Amino acid sequence: MCTGQHRVQGARGEGAEEGKVSNENKDLSSPILRVLPAGLIELQESGWCVCAIFFLNMSHYRFLKLACHLRIFSRQRKGRCLYNVTLIPGDGIGPSIADSAKRIIDATGVKIAWDVQIAGSLGVEKFNDPLPKQVLDSINKNKIALKGPLTTPVGTGFRSVNVALRKEFDLYINLRPAKSMAGVKSHFENVDLIVFRENTEEFYAGIEHYIDTKKSAAETIGVVTRAGSERIVRAAFEYAKKHGRKKVTLVHKANIMKYTGGLFLEVGSAVAQDYPNIEFNDRIIDNMAMQLVMNPNQFDVIVTTNLFGDILSDLCSGLVGGLGMAPGANIGTEAAIFEAVHGSAPDLEGKNLANPCAITLAGAMMLDHLGEVDAAKRIATAIEGVVKRGKNVTRDLNPNSFVTTTEMADAIIEGMQSAS
Ligand SMILES: NC(=O)c1ccc[n+]([C@@H]2O[C@H](COP(=O)([O-])OP(=O)(O)OC[C@H]3O[C@@H](n4cnc5c(N)ncnc54)[C@H](O)[C@@H]3O)[C@@H](O)[C@H]2O)c1
């Protein structure tokens, strides 16, 4: 049984996972120092510390390599899992792309115990609930989930599972990168945007009703809070700081929605003062939509409220070639759920033709979030290589010569293995 704990956004380095050493609070400027503690822990655990004297005669580089190998070997030998992750394969194309993502993630060597859970249409079929209690229990326990797309039944009383999950775990950050990739047809080159969408407030909070039984009018109330605005804008700045991003653009409609938009802009501008090294500007949503389709390269990190964020993040996916390659993350202080931006694509269900990259890139974001930065990079690099070559890709990427979902996943795994 695996006992790994997960690090969450804003809490990285506060506690080390079992068998891992948190180095983040120490000044470890040299690579050897960064790996040394972890290597020594593994050596001790393996009962090999008697060999330590031998290492004293080795060069730093050789020691580094050996320590890494021993660390990997030690983990593999014990078959120990580092992380428990809830896996929700989802509906439609979900099971097929989730299986591909799982195989690719497992091929990185990061040990994950997958806790597979049923939700969505299958949940309705089996338990008469699109979000059965055991799914919530599993995420509550593991704190990390990789989720396939879920079909939201239309015209029934069932709530949106995606919205319910965000509310249940207070996943206030919706983070979606939109990055150009060679081999993916798009109108622009070198786009590299990160959208931070507030995920819990405003028009998605579910405060809506008809004003009378005749349905003569309907009302949706969008509440924007000071605390909610502050945490999402701060998250965007913290991300920018950590990843060397230069600029944060806050998007609003404060000229018309003077209270909700006004509060978001006021709070965001105050938060920006704490980050003098990161450029800050704001744009009104309609102007922003036009600017993005005219010249997306002028933007870097974008932060906005729920509804505008929903629309802008799809727009940004479109700028880099559509949904097949677009990953996303829903992150809170306690838990995080990673998923593809696209839906369950009922038109492709059972055909083994769906592109597995979006959910796999979401899996790479999950690994990065867990601190498995190298594994995350290897996945991203292998996907870039396969997509750039354009041979072993699904129909959406090359309609004239394509392979199945499974075959594309195989090619990505092969790419990772041949690179290491
Ligand atoms: N996060 C989620 O779980 C999520 C997100 C969006 C939509 N949905 C749900 O999904 C269902 C279908 O929604 P929709 O049809 O509007 O959007 P969709 O994203 O499922 O499909 C839109 C188009 O993109 C294509 N497409 C999507 N993913 C693809 C992939 N991986 N590879 C190749 N092509 C792909 C589809 O074939 C379709 O032509 C709905 O029930 C909706 O509520 C769920």
Per-residue pLDDT of the chain (420 residues; tens, 9 = 90+): 454 444 434 333 333 333 333 333 333 333 333 333 333 344 444 444 444 444 445 555 455 445 545 544 444 444 567 999 999 999 999 999 999 999 999 999 999 999 999 999 889 889 988 999 999 999 999 999 999 999 876 655 666 888 889 989 999 999 999 999 998 989 999 999 999 999 999 988 878 899 999 999 999 999 999 999 999 999 999 999 999 999 999 999 999 999 999 999 999 999 999 999 999 999 999 999 999 999 999 999 999 999 999 999 999 999 998 787 899 999 999 999 999 999 999 999 999 999 999 999 999 999 999 999 999 999 999 999 999 999 999 999 999 999 999 999 999 999 999 987
Q: Is 174 in the pocket of ligand 1 (CB under 6 A)?
A: no
Distance 276 CA to ligand 1 centre (A): 40
* Neighbour tally for 159: CB within 10 Å: 14
Q: Is 362 in the pocket of ligand 1 (CB under 6 A)?
A: no
CA distance 122 to 363: 22
Nearest in space to 238 (alpha carbons), one of 170, 315, 333, 373: 333
3-state secondary structure of 249: strand
Bridge-partner residues for 328, per DSSP? 339
Candidate list 253, 282, 368, 396, residue with the active-site label: 253
Candidate list 83, 172, 204, 239, residue with the active-site label: 204
DSSP tag of 54 = H
Name the residue at shortest CA distance from atom 31 of ligand 1. Answer: 355
Nearest in space to 176 (alpha carbons), one of 381, 286, 294, 315: 315
Q: Is 348 in the pocket of ligand 1 (CB under 6 A)?
A: yes
Mutation choice for ligand 1 from 91, 150, 156, 323, CB with most ligand atoms inside 8 A: 323
Strands 144-147 and 336-340: parallel
Ligand 1 atom index nearest CA of 345? 20
Candidate list 115, 310, 396, 410, residue with the active-site label: 310
What letter represents residue 174's amino acid?
N
- Look at residue 158 in the predicted model and tell me its pLDDT: 64
Active site residue 253: yes
Cβ–Cβ < 8 Å for 69, 46: no
Q: Is 323 in the pocket of ligand 1 (CB under 6 A)?
A: yes
Cβ–Cβ < 8 Å for 8, 334: yes
Active site residue 286: yes
* Neighbour tally for 274: CB within 10 Å: 12
Bridge-partner residues for 194, per DSSP? 177, 301
Question: What does the block give as tokens for 270?
Answer: 């105050």
Cβ–Cβ < 8 Å for 150, 122: no
Distance of CA 415 to the CA centre of its chain: 22
Distance 89 CA to ligand 1 centre (A): 14
- Look at residue 420 in the predicted model and tell me its pLDDT: 75
Beta-carbon contacts of 330 under 8 Å, excluding residues fewer than 6 positions away, are 165, 166, 169, 171, 173, 174, 175, 199, 336, 337, 338, 339
- Look at residue 154 in the predicted model and tell me its pLDDT: 65
Question: What does the block give as tokens for 210?
Answer: 């008809």
Active site residue 204: yes
Mutual angle of helices 373-389 and 357-369, in 10-degree steps: 160
Nearest in space to 355 (alpha carbons), one of 307, 409, 401, 284: 409
Distance 197 CA to ligand 1 centre (A): 20
- Look at residue 206 in the predicted model and tell me its pLDDT: 79
Nearest in space to 222 (alpha carbons), one of 266, 264, 267, 280: 264
Q: Is 152 in the pocket of ligand 1 (CB under 6 A)?
A: yes
Name the residue at shortest CA distance from atom 10 of ligand 1. Answer: 343
Model confidence, pTM: 0.81
CA distance 170 to 245: 26
Active site residue 192: no
Ligand 1 atom index nearest CA of 97? 31
What letter represents residue 30's amino acid?
S
Which domains does the chain possess?
Answer: 1-17+82-186+320-420 (3.40.718.10), 31-78 (no CATH), 196-302 (3.40.50)
What DSSP string describes 376-402?
HHHHHHHHHHHHHH-SS--TTT-TTS-
- Look at residue 80 in the predicted model and tell me its pLDDT: 63
Q: Is 344 in the pocket of ligand 1 (CB under 6 A)?
A: yes
Instruction: Give strand ranges (E) for 79-159.
Output: 83-88, 112-116, 144-147
Question: What does the block give as tokens for 53?
Answer: 């004297």
